Structure 1
Amino acid sequence: MKKFYPVFLGVLIYIGCANNTNLDILTTDQNIANALKNEELLENWDIEENRNALLEAIRKCGDEGLFPEDYQYTELMKYEDAIILSPDQNEAYHKLLTIALIKYSSHLKNGKINPNEIYTDWEIKTKPIANDTIIEHILAKKQVDSLITESKPKHYIYNQLKKALVKLNSMPDEQFDTIKPKEKLYLGLKNSNTIAKIKKRLRFWGDLKPTDTLANKNFDENFKKGIINFQNRHGLEADGKIGIGTLKALNTSKETRKQQIIANLERWRWFPETLGENFLGVNLPDYKLQVVENNDTIKTYRVVVGRDKRKTPILSSKVDNIVFNPTWTVPPTIIKEDLIPDATKSRSYFYKTKIKIFNYKNEKIAPYSWKPEDALKYKYVQDPGYNNSLGLVKINFNNSHLVYMHDTNHRELFVNNYRALSSGCVRIEKPLPLAEYLLKDKLKKEYIKEEIVQKNKNKDSKPIYKKKLIEVPTYSLAEIDTIIQKKETKTVKVSQNFGVHFLYFTAWYDKDILQFRYDIYQYDSDLYLRLSNQFASNIVSSVRVENK
């Protein structure tokens, strides 16, 4: 990459400052309209180096999961290959180059598709792109390649996904039949044609070594290890058994996986340029929460996320506070679907669930006075405690969807492999150690006894102590347990600067191993069709979440 000139440093400063202002960010079309009026900018396309840099970048844009014809590559090359251009043709060519440069750099920066236009439950902020004045200077300094490089995401996962795309493109074309077992598959099965088909597929993906001959059609231990490798790469229960989920993944073609990677590359272009050094990252399809400190993952927790009809939104925020012993206000949908039917059968429902009823004046209503026909007029609040629907702790952060992370009274769900089971919020398997970690900077002073070392001490001497003042965590697990035992709601402000990112990626490439996850909200195929200009439809968003 060429050296960054001072003028390009100005681009970086501009973009960095724009991220911290309330100025309106111009759309791609607005930037194009301004640039086409800038005569000096257009004239700078007479510089051959600028044209070559852009044309080469567009030719190779498939490496980013984008498509050259979105930037009229064929038309551009016709102009470039022409021996002579008339003044009008030259002007048309320069305008086409300008449009291509702004569109391509914008697509690298923010993605080709605007997620805010197709989803109502994604909180994605548009990142600013260089305006026509900056592009004019970039062209004057012949820094097209630097603009394009700067526009690309710097995320590690994004760059690894590009390597995965190269890997898939280098793999041979498949010629596999769909695997439809006509027999029960089990360890010890011999001479099975289905085993031979599966083995061929496992060898193709690298889960079995090429030396494992296809002539061996037995379900032996080596074959089982290959299945386990495959299951681990797909987030499936790694039991070596071939169930519905494993068969579905085995029957997924290379082309589908390639499209999945391209869709994931696009989503990474939507995400913030940096997730920060310290954050809680939840990858919804992987059902995992990762605690990242100083850019290193130090802890991973299993989570339950929103089911398909109550999708967890995609967002970026900052941890605000932690609530111990939270109460839970029953949301409208659960009032209609669960509370009314159960309470109608027996008013004891309110005692069993420890839910209190309040009227519009916030006055408590006795369960025996409750009537189903008036049910929607009331507010229902569950007492804090171990069996509260939010469990023992709730982690709050600002967002427009009123979602949060919390403990749960359905702790048995964390053993499930498929965990898209909540009403929108993210449930954490072990939230108390996470709460302790987020509050670790809160310290209190405490005296401890410290023995004084005595010179010439004999065996009959009694130890002498002095008091020493030290700092200890205010919210250790022992102290948190004391708070929990009191069953009183307590809110503690989090002063550490910890981000929260709810992300959605179903493919990644780690240590030369392809990883895929089940597309729980069926986003991938829809997004790929949009990227490849094969799709035209309205918003594909989810139903509003229900705070649980």
Structure 2
Amino acid sequence: MNWKKMIIGALVFSACTTNQNNLGLTNAEKTYKIEKTLFFGKDNNMVDFYTKNDFETIWKDSLNRSQLISAIIDSRYDAVLPEKYPLAQLIKAHNNYNYLSIAEVKKADIHFTETFFRIAKQLSTGKINPKKMYGDWEPYHPEIDYKKILKESLENNSIYDGLEEIKPKNKLYLSYKKAFAKYVPITSKDTLSEEGLLRKKVWVNFERTKWIQPNLGDHYVWVNLPEYQLHLIENGAIVDTHKVIIGKKSRRTPVLSSAFNSIILNPKWTVPPTILKKDLVPKASANLGYFASNRMRIIDKKTGKQVAPENWNAGNYNAYRYVQESGSSNSLGQIKFNFPNKHMVYIHDTNNRTRFVEKYRALSSGCVRVEDPFRLAEKIFKIEGKNISKAEMDTLAVEAKTKNFSLNKKVNVHQVYLTAVINDAGEIQILNDVYSLDNKLYKQLIQ
């Protein structure tokens, strides 16, 4: 179907019908009150908007209606499927607006408004909410007042521009948008061939760019989980790259954005709930020597006193904290990078550095382990304005005393999940979908 011809036809027909109604007021010249009962079950944005507008019809202007239709058609360039929107009904209502009954005008008005809010949200934040789909994904939610945008767009006859303005404009989004236009003709559903796989990868990752905050910061760490790499970015340029180990498939590393607030040398390790239940309790129950061999102290939560392994009550394991002493054998290694997040994860060294040579590195319990962490810390300290050299850190590490360096959140951290990486030349590298997330997302996008 040629959508461009449809919209041109709609505009021409609308102009003709407006000129033919000179004898009395037409629907395009009237405002009707909509019964409140027609809003039962509708979105809150809808109800609030019409409440503030005294429940009057708002789409009588032909230009506003035609611009919304045009915006829906052109949204295919932003990975939106126009055919999933009620285009036929909107175009019919637009063409015949002056011949609609009062009841039909009211229903059409609600239909246009519902469609505006729906496509505005999809253009700005994507079709899918990853928090609902994955649980361990913390997407960026832009603060957009869709009701204000609709109000101003209607008043200024700028519906198309209003929707254009809320689309992401950052470099990452635009690079995937360009690739989408090149590799993803909407009409093709082939995902089996090499070209089809590329098409699917571009599509799902273009959607994911809508979930990443547009302003990454002047200085940040970028960890693309399927890439098994950490990049340190300063003023838009990669200044350092490190291999990383990420969470295994059963204990995925969460996708999130934050900022470093401290670096700890010779950290102690408090065992988190998941590892406690699945690892420590079964192993320690089988062999109480587990605590001594792992330099683990058992602390009673109520009294704060240390408990001897032989007095430990495995059946009430949650009554204790389990703290591993600092040192080279500590599970966190000799350095830990903290950043606020609800998943209790962080970036850290490891006591098993040989595993960085492995190609498949989804091996941890959720945190990110980084190779050569002291080199990374030295650069972060420099950005923070702290004159702490790698040699000084090495000396402190040998002393095995815990030292906490507070940071001022000048370096952001972004843990992302992109299985198709696009370089500055537009070349696409396909990565392994280590957590098997692509197929589920793709099926949702094409529905």
TM-score w.r.t. length of structure 2: 0.80
Partner of 2:43: 29
Partner of 1:507: 420
Counting only pairs closer than 5 Å after superposition, residues 437-516 of structure 1 correspond to structure 2 as 437-440=379-382, 474-510=387-423, 511-516=425-430
Tell me the CA shift for residue 478 of structure 1.
1.2
Partner of 1:353: 294
Partner of 1:55: 69
Q: Does the alignment pair 1:405 with 2:319?
A: no
Q: Does the alignment pair 1:65 with 2:79?
A: yes
**2-side partners of 1:295 and 1:483: how far apart?**
32
Residue ranges of structure 1 left out of the alignment (5+ in a row): 1-27, 177-250, 444-472, 534-548
> 1:171-201, CA deviations, whole angstroms, 9 ceiling, x for partnerless residues?
997999xxxxxxxxxxxxxxxxxxxxxxxxx
Query: Residues 87 and 344 (structure 1 numbering): CA distance in 2 closer, same or farther, change over 3 Å?
Result: closer
Q: Does the alignment pair 1:520 with 2:434?
A: yes
Write the letter of the residue equivalent to 2:94. E
Tell me the CA shift for residue 276 of structure 1.
2.0
Partner of 2:59: 45
Partner of 2:142: 127
Tell me the CA shift for residue 143 of structure 1.
1.8
Which has more helix, going by share of residues? Answer: 2
Moved more, 342-351 or 291-300: 342-351
Write the letter of the residue equivalent to 1:47. D
**2-side partners of 1:174 and 1:125: how far apart?**
29
Counting only pairs closer than 5 Å after superposition, residues 329-340 of structure 1 correspond to structure 2 as 329-335=270-276, 337-339=278-280
**1-side partners of 2:445 and 2:434: how far apart?**
20
Partner of 2:163: 148
Identity %: 34
Query: Residues 310 and 402 (structure 1 numbering): CA distance in 2 closer, same or farther, change over 3 Å?
Result: same
8 Å CA contact retained: 1:161, 1:508: no
Partner of 2:31: none
**2-side partners of 1:59 and 1:171: how far apart?**
12
Tell me the CA shift for residue 314 of structure 1.
1.7
Partner of 1:11: none
Structure 2 SS opposite 1:301: strand
Query: Residues 100 and 173 (structure 1 numbering): CA distance in 2 closer, same or farther, change over 3 Å?
Result: closer
Query: Residues 482 and 136 (structure 1 numbering): CA distance in 2 closer, same or farther, change over 3 Å?
Result: same
Structure 2 SS opposite 1:57: helix
**2-side partners of 1:410 and 1:42: how far apart?**
67
Residue ranges of structure 2 left out of the alignment (5+ in a row): 1-41
Partner of 2:364: 422
Moved more, 428-437 or 72-81: 72-81
**1-side partners of 2:193 and 2:398: how far apart?**
50
> 1:113-136, CA deviations, whole angstroms, 9 ceiling, x for partnerless residues?
223333332223532333434422
**1-side partners of 2:401 and 2:235: how far apart?**
34
Counting only pairs closer than 5 Å after superposition, residues 143-292 of structure 1 correspond to structure 2 as 143-169=158-184, 253-292=194-233
Structure 2 SS opposite 1:440: helix
Partner of 1:299: 240
8 Å CA contact retained: 1:393, 1:431: yes
Write the letter of the residue equivalent to 1:497. K
Structure 1 SS opposite 2:405: strand
Partner of 2:332: 390
Partner of 2:123: 108
Tell me the CA shift for residue 481 of structure 1.
1.0
Q: Does the alignment pair 1:323 with 2:264?
A: yes
8 Å CA contact retained: 2:219, 2:412: yes
**1-side partners of 2:106 and 2:289: how far apart?**
80
RMSD: 3.1
> 1:382-419, CA deviations, whole angstroms, 9 ceiling, x for partnerless residues?
22111210001111111111111101112122122221
